[in-house]
Amino acid sequence: MPRRKKGPRLWLRKPRIHGSTKRAAEWIILDGNSQIVTGCAADDVGSAERKLVEYLKKKHQPLRKEQHIEDILITDVLAIYYRDKAHLQMRPEDMKARLRRLAKFWAGKKLAEINGDTCRQYVDWMPKEKKPRLGSRTKNTTGGRRRDLEDLRAAVNHHSKEGLHRGIVRVTLPQKGRPRDRWLTRDEAAALLHACWRAREIQTQHRGKLKGQKIVTDKRPAQHIARFILIALYTGTRASAVAAASPFRSEGRSYVDLESGLFYRLAEGARETKKRQPPVPLPPRLLTHMRRWVDKKIAKRHFVEWNDKPVKSVTTGFRSAVRRAGLSGKVTPHTLRHTAATWLMQAGVPMWDASGFLGMTQETLESVYGHHHPEHLRSAAVAIGSQRHQSLAKHWQTKNPPIEHQHKSLKEFGGPAWTRTRNQTVMSGRL
């Protein structure tokens, strides 16, 4: 029985003498009868492992020619999609994590095996997380698995547009969840701001007579969260753009022009995506605050700073502020955007102006937040209950005269004759 072949692997070649030259030990890659030199010394194991990974990537290159769906691995479709589209993503690391989960489930399966049943199997593949990992953007929820399958659908469509397969493949997505309708009232927003602005740091004493006691200091660790809340509430801007907002133009920052009062929400050098971020005028009250923050050196490089450094995420600090404010329900930084949209609708702002200010389509604004508008279906409600000339009863009597009058009039014109007995009304003739 022939010996089973081993896959590509690292092998440490011992020191040897080649002619008059003495060669030190080095790592090489063994792949069958082939030996690939890495150029890595014996003590440079990390570099040798990276060379092996690069070799494996180069060895397995998905075939880029038209094939039938029965012959194409789904993992190859995902690999081609990642190589062609990853550089266009705003968060390529999130895309990579989603494709890894897809590859783990669909490993060894062909493109023809994608159907409604296998897609539902993927939805039920992993149980829902009771407590999602802190900082995780793609949680193991129904919405998260739908997002994974959306990437699978995009990968299959890209593979088809590149002319790499023939045949129809359809990815079945789980039902989309209801949009979040949690928004803050004015009192809740005020309580949240108060909790951030007045919060003081508590430190534990480690020495002296007060050892082990908790002491309230003069440090106010959540005031940068209060600035974040004000900007997000008054502009309806997404959290990432608010965190990147700066009074100075620079690569990778959202720019706030304090002279003209315009907020350029799309970061310098960033690519425009479907998450539209058009420039927006700042409300006068917010503009006054932002100018004061810059004048008093509260905001040096960014409007949301912690220890003079920009803040990439406010998730942890915002969660603590919500807890201190005692707000119920699921309140996240994105809730501030929902709140801004709701307040605009409640104020009666026209749909066109509100959608342009928020950077969302008019259809989305109307379908998700339109019921908050004071004019929402108001004309229909007024029209159905209005009394123009007469009451409903009087109107019915006018249109429906008594039976004896009907009998006479209908009989004169050759229509069906009506006769009334004691217990029933009998119609003679035809309707």
Q: pLDDT band for position 42 (50/70/90)?
A: confident
Instruction: State the pLDDT at residue 397.
Output: 61
Has residue 281 got a pLDDT over 70? yes
Give the mean model confidence (pLDDT) for residues 115-130: 78
Distance CA 405, CA 412 (A): 11
Rounded distance, CA 277 to CA 240, Å?
A: 11
370 — phi, psi (to 5°)? -60, -30
Residue pLDDT, tens place only, 350-384: 999 999 999 988 888 888 888 888 877 777 777 77
Q: Are strands 309-310 and 26-31 parallel, antiparallel or unpaired?
A: unpaired
| Amino acid at position 381, single letter | A
Calculate the alpha carbon distances from 11 to 31, 71, 267 in Å.
10, 34, 48
pLDDT beyond 90 at 171: yes
* Fold assignment, 186-372: hpI Integrase; Chain A (1.10.443)
**How is the chain split into domains, by residue range?**
9-59, 68-166, 186-372, 392-428
Mean pLDDT score across all residues of the chain: 82
Query: What tokens appear for 387 in the block?
Result: 């009394």
Determine the residue type at 220: R
Give the separation between CA 202 and CA 337, rounded to whole angstroms. Answer: 31
Choose among 135, 83, 170, 54: nearest CA to 332: 135
Is residue 37 a contact partner of residue 51, using CB atoms and an 8 Å limit?
A: no
Contact between 246 and 253 (Cβ < 8 Å): yes
Q: Tell me the pLDDT band of 401, cut-offs 50, 70 and 90.
A: low
Q: What is the pLDDT of residues 189-240, one digit of tens each?
A: 999 999 998 888 887 777 877 777 887 888 888 899 999 999 999 999 999 8
Instruction: Mean pLDDT check: name the lowest of 181-190, 208-217, 253-262, 344-353.
Output: 208-217
CA-closest candidate to residue 311, choices 231, 393, 234, 373:
231
User: Residue 341 in contact with residue 234, Cβ under 8 Å?
Assistant: no
**Mean per-residue pLDDT, 396-421:** 50
Higher pLDDT, 175 or 318: 318
What is the CB-side half-sphere exposure of residue 50 using CA atoms within 13 A?
6
pTM: 0.67
CA–CA distance, 235 with 393 (Å, rounded to integer): 52
Element (DSSP H or E) covering residue 292: helix 284-295
Of the two residues 134 and 153, the one the predictor is more confident about is 153
pLDDT value of position 408: 46
